[in-house]
Structure 1
């Protein structure tokens, strides 16, 4: 069943509020959506149980943490087997520099990574001593992010 089918306007308001500020108190959410606290809590719990709300996170500023370079890396694999892809996915998940990894189609590459590093030297170290060392990686293409125009959660 498609989870989005049973979401009404109030559920969507709750999701927008929580994705913009996960620290909002239920009382504040209730007031904004014009609903008492108990049904608001029930709705939030239902959204969590349905797997629509998957967690509550603190957003961080990569630049403030010293990670001023964002790189998109397209990765081609030598073999297109479930075992080869799984091995790559397991290894890439262990690299702190990789903040997202997607299996993609419609291009010659197989995976698209977003990598955060401190500078070009850090990226060179990551590329040469981690990413290119994974068995099966046959080609890498790096694109450097000039600036992020916006970022949001899916709603």
Structure 2
């Protein structure tokens, strides 16, 4: 039976973006060719992705429904970012970008669907957290 809707939260971890890469050198292949070594530039990304994966796995267990989404999916996500004490602006109009935050979130949800290409609608926002940083996510069948 296909899942219809699902919500979960991850708080206590600063959301991390995914997408920027950093060149760290080259490696010589067995054939003698040099290939570039590139790593993810976002510090803390592995910790963030594990926190998301752990939270969604636990929420699925708690719901009693371990089935994956089938077909088209809609994802709604609100990222809560830490506001530095000196920041007075209402909205976090600074990095990280919502598209890179979305990428790290979607890539962390492999157990929820077969592939993130199933996401046909994505509604994402970012706000300053009034409490702990994190993300609130709702995933549902679309339409």
TM class by shorter-chain length? under 0.3
| Greater RCO, CA 8 A, separation 6+ | 2
Normalising by structure 2, we get a TM-score of 0.23
TM-score, normalization: structure 1? Answer: 0.22
Question: Higher strand share goes to which structure?
Answer: 2
